[in-house]
Amino acid sequence: MHDLLLGSHPLPASEWLALFTHFLVLSLLAVGGAITTVPDMQRFVVHEQGWLSDAQFTGCVALAQAAPGPNVLFVAVIGFNVGGLAGVLATMVGTLLPSTTLAMAATHWAKGHQESRWLRSFTTGLAPLTIGLLVATSWILLGPTRTQWTSIALALGTLLFMLRTRWSPLWPIAVGALAGALGWV
C-alpha cells in the first residue's frame, strides 16, 4: 500500500514541492494544451531530476495518449511513475489549478470583449506558437526511435496525411501500431 501511495522511491518533501511547482508553472505556459509542455516536462523529470528514463517518459505519454479520455491524462501517468498516487496529486493539481483558474477568468473577460481587435489578434497569434510547441513535443517523443528511418518516415507521413486530408487521425495511429507490431519501428 505504501508503494502505491508514494511510489517505489519516496521523494523528500522538497522534491514533492519541486514536482508540484514545476507542473504549476508549466500549466501557465501550456498554450494549446498540456501536451505542448512535454519537452520541458521531459527535461525536468528525466534529465534534471533523473526520476524517469527517456523510455519510461515516452511510455507514459504514449500509454496515456492511447487510452480514452482527456488529453491531460499523460500528466497523471508521469506523476504516478515518479511517485505513486502522491505523484499523481502533485502533477495533476499543479497542472490543473492555475490553467483552470486562468481559463475561467479569461473566458469571463472575453465574453465582454469579443469584438476587440486586440483579442482577435492575440488569439490568431497563438496558432503558430501552438504549432511550434507541438512540433517540439513530437521531436521529444520521437527521441527513442529517432535514429530509425522508418520512425522518421512514419512521422512525416502522418504529418502530410493530417495536413492534406480530413480523415480521422485514427488511420495513421493504426498504421503506426501495425508498424510497431511488425517490428518495423
- CA gap 123, 158 in Å, rounded: 26
Per-residue confidence band for 7, with pLDDT thresholds at 50, 70 and 90: low
What is the pLDDT at residue 126?
Answer: 81
- CA gap 57, 134 in Å, rounded: 17
User: Which among 136, 135, 112, 140 is positioned nearest to 52, based on CA atoms?
Assistant: 140
3-state DSSP assignment of residue 166: coil
* Contact (Cβ atoms closer than 8 angstroms) between residue 12 and residue 87: no
Per-residue confidence band for 25, with pLDDT thresholds at 50, 70 and 90: very high
User: Which among 68, 54, 60 is positioned nearest to 143, based on CA atoms?
Assistant: 54
User: Which among 62, 78, 72 is positioned nearest to 95, based on CA atoms?
Assistant: 72
What region, left, alpha or beta, does residue 11 occupy, with left being phi > 0 and alpha being psi -120 to 50 degrees?
beta
Q: What is the pLDDT of residues 89-139, one digit of tens each?
A: 999 999 999 988 988 998 888 888 877 888 888 888 888 887 888 788 888
Per-residue confidence band for 170, with pLDDT thresholds at 50, 70 and 90: confident
Residue 168 has pLDDT above 70, yes or no: yes
Can you give the pTM of this predicted structure? 0.65
Residue 1 has pLDDT above 60, yes or no: no
C-alpha cell belonging to residue 33: 494544451
* DSSP string covering 66-134: HSSS-TTHHHHHHHHHHHHHHHHHHHHHHHHHHHHHHHHHHHHHHHTTTT-HHHHHHHHHHHHHHHHHH
Q: What is the pLDDT of residues 48-93, one digit of tens each?
A: 999 999 999 999 998 888 888 788 899 999 999 998 899 999 999 9
